[in-house]
């Protein structure tokens, strides 16, 4: 039997999603709680990796067990009680044994949050950035971004992938409120470090330190060394993972 887990987490305390040799990850923390509650070793596969310090409003993972689970509210409640307060399971539901948390996903949607004012309660959840940013110029850069599919210039140099093509659905900046600027981007897939590097490069554009022509040259160069530095992890959120409708057919 294969089951999907829908969860969210605050990534501040973790060395990313994936199990690490040098630190605590979200994956290993979740596996430990599931294994304890179900009384057998449980190994999970996530829809994708998030880097150290990155958050997820919605993440999915799957795991396999030999016998069907008794899916009750008390089961989820008990597992949540075993988890630290910065990881929360929202649902567990059966899926086809051919459904895969990573490979069945058809889209991912990320947001990056920037605040102009320092906030004592949001410091690990947003990027405090004081310089003035021209949001119109940054949105012009987004239009250029949408005209391309190869984003090698925004991928970490040692990314182990067969290609650097991503099909973007949208990319734009807006103001959540007077002090909070948010970048929205959705695509079928993302490269390692891609969103944070795009944000870091666009901050150069927003400060008029890079022209739109230079931005397009960076895209066409297909060379990570010519792009801007990556924005800090604390402002990045995985907001939504999309799947075909049939994946949720057995969800209560």
User: Is 110 labeled as ligand-binding?
Assistant: yes
Helix ranges, 50-104 (H): 73-82
Q: Read off the pTM.
A: 0.95
Domain spans in the chain, listed from the N-terminal domain onward: 2-103, 107-239
* Mean pLDDT across 44-62: 95
Radius of gyration of the chain (CA): 19
Residue 208 main-chain phi, psi, to 5 deg:
60, 30
* Mean pLDDT across 215-233: 94
Q: Given this model, what pLDDT does residue 159 score?
A: 65
Q: Is the pLDDT of residue 122 over 90?
A: no
Distances from the Cα of 98 to the Cαs of 2, 192, 206, 218, 247, in angstroms?
A: 9, 26, 45, 39, 10
CATH class, domain 2-103, is alpha beta
> 169 an active-site residue?
no
Residue 182 tokens read as 């948010």
Same fold across 2-103 and 107-239: yes
**Catalytic residue from among 51, 119, 136, 179:** 51
Which residue, 124, 153, 134, 143, is CA-closest to 222? Answer: 153
Domain 107-239 CATH (choose: 3.40.50.970, 3.30.70.660, 3.20.20.70, 3.40.630.30): 3.30.70.660
Q: Given this model, what pLDDT does residue 21 score?
A: 75
pLDDT per position as a tens digit, 7-30:
999 999 999 998 877 889 999 999
Give just the sign of the alpha carbon dihedral 92, 93, 97, 103.
Answer: negative
Q: How confident is the model at residue 214 (pLDDT cuts 50, 70, 90)?
A: very high
Q: Are 96 and 2 in contact (CB under 8 A)?
A: yes
Q: Given this model, what pLDDT does residue 223 score?
A: 92
Q: What number of CA atoms fall less than 13 Å from residue 226's CA on the CB side?
A: 14
């Amino acid at each position: 039997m294969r089951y999907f887990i829908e969860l969210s987490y605050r990534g501040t305390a973790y060395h990313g999603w994936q199990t690490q040799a040098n630190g605590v990850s979200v994956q290993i923390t979740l596996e430990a709680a599931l294994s304890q509650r179900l009384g057998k070793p449980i190994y999970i596969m996530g829809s994708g990796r998030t880097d150290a310090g990155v958050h997820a409003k919605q993440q999915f993972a799957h795991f396999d067990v030999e016998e069907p689970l008794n899916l009750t509210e008390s089961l989820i409640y008990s597992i949540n009680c075993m988890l630290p307060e910065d990881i929360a399971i929202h649902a567990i539901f059966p899926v086809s044994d051919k459904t895969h948390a990573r490979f069945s996903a058809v889209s991912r949607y990320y947001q990056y949050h920037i605040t102009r004012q320092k906030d004592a309660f949001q410091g690990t959840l947003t990027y405090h950035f004081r310089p003035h940013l021209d949001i119109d110029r940054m949105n012009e850069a987004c239009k250029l971004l949408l005209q391309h599919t190869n984003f090698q210039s925004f991928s970490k140099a040692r990314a182990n992938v067969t290609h650097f093509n991503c099909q973007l659905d949208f990319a734009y900046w807006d103001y959540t409120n007077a002090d909070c600027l948010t970048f929205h981007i959705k695509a079928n897939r993302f490269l390692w470090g891609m969103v944070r590097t795009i944000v870091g490069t666009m901050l150069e554009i927003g400060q008029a330190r890079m022209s739109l022509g230079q931005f397009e040259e960076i895209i066409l160069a297909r060379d990570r060394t010519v792009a801007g530095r990556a924005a800090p992890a604390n402002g990045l959120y995985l907001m939504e993972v999309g799947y075909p409708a049939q994946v949720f057919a057995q969800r209560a």
